[in-house]
Amino acid sequence: MIPWTLQEDAQLRNLHSSHGSLWNRISEQINNRTARQCADRWHNYLSPNINTTPLTHFERQMNIADGQELLVFDETGGVQTYPSTNEP
């Protein structure tokens, strides 16, 4: 996978402001990017709706069961993974 460039990010922002979430139309105007790649980039990295605030104390202490693993947030926002002790 080829990393996104700053130029592509700017182009995606501009095209999204013009075309909304018409990812097929947007991808036709960005070289070598699929509609799925454009949508993923927007929703996961560029959207102004992404919450980038630091984790709260509660969020850092929260344990999340994820299948066979237990994910525990540390004070820096990192995640430690432990084998789950619960039977599925």
49 or 75, greater pLDDT: 49
- DSSP, collapsed to helix, strand or coil, labels residue 36 as helix
Rounded mean pLDDT, 63-82? 61
Which of 72, 73, 74 has its CA nearest to residue 84? 72
Give tens-digit pLDDT for 57-70.
Answer: 666 665 454 455 66
Q: What is the pLDDT of residues 5-45, one digit of tens each?
A: 999 999 999 999 999 999 999 999 999 999 999 999 999 99
Q: What span, in angstroms and rounded, lies between the C-alpha atoms of 88 and 46?
A: 36
Query: What is the residue whose two structure tokens read 């991808």?
Result: 27
Q: Provide CB contacts within 8 A for 26, sequence distance 6+.
A: 12, 15, 16, 19, 35, 38
